[in-house]
Homo-oligomer: A and B are copies of this chain.
Amino acid sequence: MVETEDITRPPREWVEALQDIGAATASSTLAHMGVRNPFIVGPLARTAGRAIAGPALTLQFMPKREDVYSEDEYAEPELQLHRHALYHTQPGDIVVVDARGDMTSGIFGDMMLTYFKGKGGIGVVIDGCIRDYPNAKRLDLGLWVRGLTPNFHTQTDLMPFAVNQPIACGGAFVMPGDIIVADDDGAVVVPVALAEEVIAQASEHHGWEGFSRQRLLEGGELRRYYPLSDEARPEYEAWLKEQSEEE
Protein backbone atom coordinates (compact mmCIF):
# COMPACT_ATOMS: atom_id res chain seq x y z
CA MET A 1 0.00 0.00 0.00
CA VAL A 2 1.20 3.47 -0.82
CA GLU A 3 2.11 5.56 2.21
CA THR A 4 3.23 9.15 1.84
CA GLU A 5 4.21 11.69 4.49
CA ASP A 6 2.19 14.69 5.49
CA ILE A 7 3.76 18.11 5.93
CA THR A 8 4.21 20.33 8.96
CA ARG A 9 2.13 23.47 8.50
CA PRO A 10 3.37 26.89 9.58
CA PRO A 11 1.42 29.12 12.00
CA ARG A 12 -1.61 30.63 10.31
CA GLU A 13 -0.50 34.19 11.10
CA TRP A 14 2.71 33.77 9.14
CA VAL A 15 0.72 32.72 6.12
CA GLU A 16 -1.63 35.67 6.46
CA ALA A 17 1.19 38.12 6.92
CA LEU A 18 2.96 36.82 3.82
CA GLN A 19 -0.21 37.04 1.78
CA ASP A 20 -0.44 40.72 2.70
CA ILE A 21 3.21 41.27 1.82
CA GLY A 22 2.77 39.78 -1.65
CA ALA A 23 5.15 38.09 -4.05
CA ALA A 24 7.16 41.17 -5.10
CA THR A 25 8.09 42.25 -1.60
CA ALA A 26 8.63 38.66 -0.45
CA SER A 27 11.08 38.12 -3.29
CA SER A 28 13.05 41.33 -2.86
CA THR A 29 13.19 40.85 0.92
CA LEU A 30 14.53 37.31 0.50
CA ALA A 31 17.08 38.61 -2.02
CA HIS A 32 18.32 41.16 0.51
CA MET A 33 18.55 38.28 3.04
CA GLY A 34 20.78 36.33 0.66
CA VAL A 35 18.33 34.08 -1.18
CA ARG A 36 19.10 35.27 -4.67
CA ASN A 37 16.07 34.11 -6.62
CA PRO A 38 13.09 32.57 -4.79
CA PHE A 39 10.87 33.07 -7.84
CA ILE A 40 9.35 30.00 -9.52
CA VAL A 41 9.96 30.81 -13.20
CA GLY A 42 7.50 29.47 -15.74
CA PRO A 43 4.10 28.99 -14.11
CA LEU A 44 1.95 32.05 -14.88
CA ALA A 45 -1.10 33.32 -13.05
CA ARG A 46 -4.09 32.03 -14.98
CA THR A 47 -6.51 33.49 -12.47
CA ALA A 48 -5.84 37.19 -12.78
CA GLY A 49 -6.07 39.19 -9.61
CA ARG A 50 -5.83 36.22 -7.28
CA ALA A 51 -3.33 36.60 -4.42
CA ILE A 52 -2.76 33.70 -2.04
CA ALA A 53 -0.27 32.24 0.43
CA GLY A 54 -0.10 28.80 1.96
CA PRO A 55 2.07 25.80 2.81
CA ALA A 56 3.35 23.62 -0.01
CA LEU A 57 2.30 20.03 -0.55
CA THR A 58 4.81 18.76 -3.12
CA LEU A 59 4.51 16.27 -5.96
CA GLN A 60 7.41 15.17 -8.12
CA PHE A 61 7.24 13.73 -11.62
CA MET A 62 10.04 11.82 -13.35
CA PRO A 63 10.62 10.87 -16.99
CA LYS A 64 8.36 7.87 -17.65
CA ARG A 65 10.04 4.51 -18.01
CA GLU A 66 7.63 1.82 -19.07
CA ASP A 67 9.21 -0.94 -16.95
CA VAL A 68 8.57 1.17 -13.85
CA TYR A 69 5.23 2.69 -14.75
CA SER A 70 2.68 1.07 -17.02
CA GLU A 71 -0.06 3.54 -17.60
CA ASP A 72 -3.77 2.91 -17.31
CA GLU A 73 -5.72 5.87 -16.16
CA TYR A 74 -8.40 4.11 -14.14
CA ALA A 75 -6.64 0.89 -13.13
CA GLU A 76 -5.75 0.69 -9.44
CA PRO A 77 -6.27 4.33 -8.65
CA GLU A 78 -4.81 3.81 -5.18
CA LEU A 79 -1.39 3.40 -6.77
CA GLN A 80 -1.58 6.79 -8.45
CA LEU A 81 0.75 9.13 -6.61
CA HIS A 82 -0.87 12.29 -7.91
CA ARG A 83 -3.95 11.28 -5.91
CA HIS A 84 -1.87 10.74 -2.79
CA ALA A 85 -0.48 14.24 -3.00
CA LEU A 86 -4.04 15.53 -2.77
CA TYR A 87 -5.06 13.16 0.05
CA HIS A 88 -3.02 15.34 2.40
CA THR A 89 -4.98 18.50 1.55
CA GLN A 90 -6.03 20.70 4.45
CA PRO A 91 -7.77 24.07 4.17
CA GLY A 92 -5.36 26.69 2.89
CA ASP A 93 -2.91 24.28 1.28
CA ILE A 94 -1.18 24.84 -2.06
CA VAL A 95 0.07 21.97 -4.23
CA VAL A 96 3.42 22.55 -5.93
CA VAL A 97 4.37 20.16 -8.71
CA ASP A 98 7.67 19.41 -10.40
CA ALA A 99 6.27 18.58 -13.83
CA ARG A 100 9.62 19.12 -15.58
CA GLY A 101 8.23 21.89 -17.80
CA ASP A 102 6.32 19.31 -19.82
CA MET A 103 3.67 20.80 -22.12
CA THR A 104 1.93 17.52 -23.03
CA SER A 105 1.02 16.23 -19.56
CA GLY A 106 -2.11 17.41 -17.77
CA ILE A 107 -1.11 16.94 -14.15
CA PHE A 108 -4.58 17.34 -12.72
CA GLY A 109 -7.99 17.30 -14.39
CA ASP A 110 -11.40 18.48 -13.38
CA MET A 111 -12.20 15.73 -10.84
CA MET A 112 -8.87 15.88 -9.03
CA LEU A 113 -9.10 19.65 -8.74
CA THR A 114 -12.72 19.41 -7.58
CA TYR A 115 -11.63 17.09 -4.77
CA PHE A 116 -8.77 19.43 -3.88
CA LYS A 117 -11.18 22.36 -3.75
CA GLY A 118 -13.65 20.35 -1.65
CA LYS A 119 -10.93 19.71 0.93
CA GLY A 120 -10.10 23.39 1.17
CA GLY A 121 -7.13 23.60 -1.16
CA ILE A 122 -6.60 27.14 -2.45
CA GLY A 123 -4.20 26.88 -5.35
CA VAL A 124 -1.79 24.90 -7.50
CA VAL A 125 1.65 25.85 -8.83
CA ILE A 126 2.86 23.59 -11.64
CA ASP A 127 5.80 23.97 -14.00
CA GLY A 128 3.62 22.16 -16.48
CA CYS A 129 -0.05 21.91 -17.38
CA ILE A 130 -3.49 21.02 -16.15
CA ARG A 131 -6.26 19.58 -18.33
CA ASP A 132 -10.07 19.80 -18.45
CA TYR A 133 -9.84 23.55 -18.12
CA PRO A 134 -13.33 24.16 -19.56
CA ASN A 135 -14.65 22.47 -16.39
CA ALA A 136 -11.84 23.24 -14.00
CA LYS A 137 -12.06 26.98 -14.44
CA ARG A 138 -15.39 26.99 -12.60
CA LEU A 139 -13.71 25.88 -9.40
CA ASP A 140 -12.34 29.27 -8.50
CA LEU A 141 -8.96 27.88 -7.46
CA GLY A 142 -5.77 29.92 -7.80
CA LEU A 143 -3.87 28.48 -10.77
CA TRP A 144 -0.23 29.13 -11.63
CA VAL A 145 0.62 26.87 -14.55
CA ARG A 146 2.70 26.90 -17.73
CA GLY A 147 -0.27 25.95 -19.83
CA LEU A 148 -3.22 23.73 -20.59
CA THR A 149 -3.42 20.45 -22.45
CA PRO A 150 -6.08 17.87 -23.22
CA ASN A 151 -3.64 15.06 -22.34
CA PHE A 152 -3.72 13.17 -19.05
CA HIS A 153 -0.75 13.14 -16.70
CA THR A 154 0.98 9.96 -17.86
CA GLN A 155 -0.10 10.09 -21.49
CA THR A 156 3.29 10.99 -22.91
CA ASP A 157 6.61 11.40 -21.08
CA LEU A 158 6.02 11.68 -17.32
CA MET A 159 5.20 9.47 -14.35
CA PRO A 160 4.46 10.64 -10.80
CA PHE A 161 7.28 9.67 -8.49
CA ALA A 162 7.20 11.20 -5.00
CA VAL A 163 4.91 13.07 -2.62
CA ASN A 164 5.97 15.65 -0.04
CA GLN A 165 9.65 15.33 -0.83
CA PRO A 166 11.94 18.26 -1.73
CA ILE A 167 11.46 19.20 -5.37
CA ALA A 168 12.62 21.60 -8.05
CA CYS A 169 9.89 23.71 -9.61
CA GLY A 170 10.60 26.36 -12.22
CA GLY A 171 14.26 26.62 -11.21
CA ALA A 172 13.45 27.00 -7.49
CA PHE A 173 14.03 24.51 -4.71
CA VAL A 174 10.89 23.80 -2.68
CA MET A 175 10.70 21.89 0.59
CA PRO A 176 7.36 20.43 1.65
CA GLY A 177 5.87 22.89 4.14
CA ASP A 178 7.62 25.94 2.68
CA ILE A 179 5.27 28.86 2.24
CA ILE A 180 4.21 29.79 -1.28
CA VAL A 181 3.23 33.41 -1.94
CA ALA A 182 1.55 33.82 -5.32
CA ASP A 183 -0.16 36.63 -7.15
CA ASP A 184 -0.14 38.17 -10.64
CA ASP A 185 3.64 38.60 -10.44
CA GLY A 186 4.02 34.82 -10.07
CA ALA A 187 4.82 32.40 -7.24
CA VAL A 188 7.59 32.80 -4.69
CA VAL A 189 8.93 30.20 -2.25
CA VAL A 190 9.45 31.51 1.26
CA PRO A 191 11.61 28.95 3.10
CA VAL A 192 9.67 28.24 6.26
CA ALA A 193 12.73 28.79 8.44
CA LEU A 194 13.09 32.32 7.07
CA ALA A 195 9.41 33.23 7.17
CA GLU A 196 9.44 35.20 10.41
CA GLU A 197 12.45 37.21 9.34
CA VAL A 198 10.89 37.97 5.95
CA ILE A 199 7.75 39.16 7.70
CA ALA A 200 9.72 41.29 10.11
CA GLN A 201 11.84 42.94 7.42
CA ALA A 202 9.01 43.43 4.96
CA SER A 203 6.86 45.01 7.62
CA GLU A 204 9.15 47.94 8.25
CA HIS A 205 6.53 49.85 6.40
CA HIS A 206 7.44 52.81 4.35
CA GLY A 207 4.48 54.78 5.67
CA TRP A 208 5.10 57.40 3.00
CA GLU A 209 4.51 55.07 0.05
CA GLY A 210 0.84 55.89 -0.27
CA PHE A 211 1.61 59.59 -0.09
CA SER A 212 4.41 59.32 -2.62
CA ARG A 213 2.34 57.26 -5.02
CA GLN A 214 -0.32 59.97 -5.00
CA ARG A 215 2.19 62.75 -5.60
CA LEU A 216 3.93 60.84 -8.40
CA LEU A 217 0.63 60.21 -10.11
CA GLU A 218 0.02 63.96 -10.00
CA GLY A 219 3.32 64.51 -11.79
CA GLY A 220 5.57 64.90 -8.76
CA GLU A 221 9.34 64.45 -9.03
CA LEU A 222 10.79 60.99 -8.44
CA ARG A 223 13.82 62.55 -6.73
CA ARG A 224 11.54 64.28 -4.25
CA TYR A 225 9.06 61.55 -3.51
CA TYR A 226 10.68 58.18 -4.09
CA PRO A 227 12.32 57.49 -1.83
CA LEU A 228 10.85 60.30 0.26
CA SER A 229 13.40 63.11 0.42
CA ASP A 230 14.06 65.25 3.48
CA GLU A 231 12.67 68.23 1.57
CA ALA A 232 9.34 66.48 1.08
CA ARG A 233 8.99 65.22 4.63
CA PRO A 234 7.10 68.27 5.96
CA GLU A 235 4.72 67.98 3.04
CA TYR A 236 4.23 64.32 3.87
CA GLU A 237 3.56 65.10 7.51
CA ALA A 238 1.00 67.72 6.58
CA TRP A 239 -0.64 65.15 4.29
CA LEU A 240 -0.65 62.58 7.05
CA LYS A 241 -2.36 65.00 9.39
CA GLU A 242 -4.90 65.89 6.77
CA GLN A 243 -5.59 62.21 6.11
CA SER A 244 -6.26 61.48 9.76
CA GLU A 245 -8.59 64.44 10.04
CA GLU A 246 -10.53 63.26 7.04
CA GLU A 247 -11.21 59.85 8.53
Expressed in whole angstroms, the Cα–Cα distance for A150 and B119 within the complex equals 29
For the complex, count residues of A whose C-beta is within 8 A of B.
93
User: Which residue of B24, B155, B185, B213 contacts A31 across the interface (Cβ within 8 Å)?
Assistant: B155
Asked whether, in the complex, the Cβ of A222 is within 8 Å of the Cβ of B24, the reply is: no
User: Which residue of B49, B111, B117 contacts A212 across the interface (Cβ within 8 Å)?
Assistant: B111
List chain B residues, Cβ under 8 A from A112: 222, 226
Question: A110: nearest residue on chain B (CB-CB)?
Answer: B213
Given A151-B37, A166-B62, A216-B114, the answer on whether A227 and B51 have CB atoms closer than 8 Å is no
Question: A181: nearest residue on chain B (CB-CB)?
Answer: B150
Question: A214: nearest residue on chain B (CB-CB)?
Answer: B114
Q: Is A55 an interface residue (CB 8 A)?
A: no
Asked whether, in the complex, the Cβ of B185 is within 8 Å of the Cβ of A216, the reply is: no
Asked whether, in the complex, the Cβ of A149 is within 8 Å of the Cβ of B185, the reply is: yes
Q: Is A47 an interface residue (CB 8 A)?
A: no
Which chain A residues (192-244) contact chain B, with CB distance < 8 Å?
A: 193-194, 209, 212-213, 215-220, 222-223, 225-227
Cβ of A74 to closest chain B Cβ, rounded Å? 6
Expressed in whole angstroms, the Cα–Cα distance for A198 and B186 within the complex equals 38
Digit string of A47-72 for contact with B (CB within 8 Å is 1, else 0)?
00101000000000011111110000
Which chain A residues (51-103) contact chain B, with CB distance < 8 Å?
A: 51, 62-68, 73-74, 77-78, 83, 86-87, 100, 103
Asked whether, in the complex, the Cβ of A67 is within 8 Å of the Cβ of B100, the reply is: no
List chain B residues, Cβ under 8 A from A74: 227
Asked whether, in the complex, the Cβ of A217 is within 8 Å of the Cβ of B118, the reply is: yes
Asked whether, in the complex, the Cβ of B209 is within 8 Å of the Cβ of A152, the reply is: no
- Would you mind naming 20 contact pairs between A and B with Cβ atoms under 8 Å apart? A24-B106, A24-B109, A27-B155, A34-B67, A37-B104, A39-B149, A41-B103, A49-B134, A67-B191, A86-B222, A111-B213, A114-B217, A131-B185, A133-B183, A133-B184, A148-B186, A149-B185, A150-B188, A159-B173, A161-B166
Known: A23-B150, A118-B215. 14 other contacts (CB 8 A): A22-B134, A27-B151, A28-B73, A35-B66, A36-B66, A51-B134, A65-B191, A68-B191, A77-B223, A77-B227, A111-B209, A117-B216, A118-B217, A134-B185
